[in-house]
Chain A
């Protein structure tokens, strides 16, 4: 559905369910140059298990009008504006990659409003390789290719998708190609410049789950562990996959999220 947030037409996927103010809400935040469709299975599951699901397209992404927010703190502020526009006080936050930084920062800014926080494919800092930044800055297709190749584990690049008949790297590149000019650079630059993540991590007040890929070379496990250590009440779960966890291990991600988020209140 569409709502207006800060005078901007904003799209949020609700799992094809009507929003219900009586239910607890889970906000899913996608990564760089992606959109809500990366959360397809997870969002559908919770939407059909008595939760509001709000898989939002960030400004300038998917169906939400631009321009994009240029920094992680600005994205986090916008996320709270979105939650306010929905008329919700407290939420569960789930973020992937750049979206994990957005949710981390959001949880640090308003710790009292976050029930639980799940970070997928996350690390602080999240430096971006110079060739990738350069390709993204120049809107070269090579930028999408680098994300696609580095984002999947070597095993996944051969396929074997849990979703029958779907080619993982083919699906990912088509989604990335839908991002408008400058979006990938905007997002990667925001990740690259997000410098106070560990300070923000210390301010998170809710139970936190980190789901990391053992073969993730974009947010390596070693750095992910440092982030988990910086969050007061956090635990780490490791899956046998790369950075694009929801594509490589959709069922396993769900198996981690279901007990962490718990039964509906």
Chain B
């Protein structure tokens, strides 16, 4: 509609959301409030902030002005009501789960997960009475079939590990809605530039901001975002949000905060008690990265597409796993849900197995051999000779990895230089 007002656009929000120029000194950049605590005007103000009667900061474990800018910015980009910055992506995932689940509850999770998330669900949370069932992310009905009376969360990654399985978010979200259970997504590989989970029915999202949001490999951090969409009262399964909380003067979060009940409980309890907070300096680094998120992500995608084409046609390569390729099982879903691109992390299988993979890695000059993704610089890892080196071929296959599997995180360099680097290393990998 021509005369209809419009919201501020994504690229502008990436630069500005959450920040007003510093009122005291006029600083244009977001100031780093490297402080633990905040001076109160008087005792009445102090008591009022403590008791949720006034807005403000008390202690940087719970809120901090620099972190608040970052929290608003990711909320704006994802389309949520609010967010919490955490010490890492794992801390964000833990905070999401512990805000609404307790002993005796159950999670239905995609089985294509980052190893750290898999460890949390498989080995750590069961010690605290929270169990998980793992299902095929390509089968939304498998989520439904695994739901038990005590299930309180559905979980998956938008782009799964390591095969880039694409979660059918709209269908899994429908299953979640039909059962009165929220859907939590790890959207680290996608970022809101490529995919906005709340627009497709997801209720909660977290990121390892260490990766593409920060984008420069300099800071570890996480972000948990609440869509404000899920109706906790209608569900009737979440007493931490709908019943009086003794830990905060019998506050009932859904009555007090309406659509923001989840994120407020996460802050007033989880940030306070678990304390996995982000340093304000880290928040600053991640904000610097997010300012250029749209530009960087587009370049990441452009470079990735060029390398996927290059490797797919290379005689030293057995196969390339990327959803934009027609033979990927999720090719159709990729076109529907991720038309702007399927991320900049993908794997391929080199001919010659484990030894060829080792020679390939050691021949690269531009790609850095390390265990991270989402840096501005291109990264590479060969699981069979590093993270999974103790596994034989059969054990690797069970984890969806072949002896010649190489994972790339494509950076922002000139694509010609990246292809030249790959070409040289592939040639050397094939020499016996």
Contact = CB atoms under 8 A, between A and B. Distances in A.
B71 A164 contact: yes
Contacts of B229: 174
Choose among A48, A142, A145, A158 the residue with the greatest number of B CB atoms under 10 Å from its CB: A158
Nearest to B7: A149
Contacts of B57: 164
A174 B16 CA distance: 22
B48 interface: yes
Contacts of A170: 75-76, 79-82, 228
Interface in A121-159: 131, 142, 145-146, 149-150, 155, 157-159
Contacts of A160: 18-20, 69, 72
B119 interface: no
A9 B384 CA distance: 65
Given A162-B56, A164-B55, A171-B228, A45 B256 contact: no
B209 interface: no
Contact of B63 (A142, A149, A164, A174): A164
B5 A145 contact: yes
Given A171-B259, A178-B258, A163 B55 contact: yes
Given A16-B249, A161-B68, A165-B63, A251 B4 contact: no
Given A37-B258, A164-B65, A251 B81 contact: no
A185 interface: no
Contact of A174 (B76, B228, B250): B228
Choose among A162, A166, A174 the residue with the greatest number of B CB atoms under 10 Å from its CB: A166
A interface SS class: helix
Interface residues of B, number: 54
Contacts, number: 142
A171 B55 contact: no
Interface residues of A, number: 36
B256 A162 contact: no
A57 B227 CA distance: 23
Contacts of B55: 41, 161-164, 250-251
A251 B228 CA distance: 23
Contacts of A131: 1, 3-4
A165 B54 contact: no
Contacts of A41: 52-55
A205 to B, nearest CB: 30
Contacts of A35: 258
A192 interface: no
A254 interface: yes
Interface in B79-119: 79-85
A166 B82 contact: yes
Nearest to B229: A174
A158 B15 CA distance: 10
Given A41-B54, A150-B5, A170-B82, A158 B20 contact: yes
Given A167-B80, A254-B54, 15 more contacts: A16-B250, A16-B251, A41-B54, A45-B48, A142-B1, A145-B4, A158-B20, A159-B20, A159-B69, A161-B55, A162-B56, A164-B65, A167-B81, A171-B228, A251-B56
28 contacts: A35-B258, A41-B53, A45-B48, A45-B54, A48-B48, A48-B53, A131-B3, A149-B5, A150-B5, A158-B8, A159-B69, A159-B73, A159-B76, A160-B69, A161-B55, A161-B68, A162-B56, A164-B68, A165-B68, A167-B75, A169-B7, A170-B79, A170-B81, A171-B260, A174-B81, A174-B227, A178-B258, A251-B56
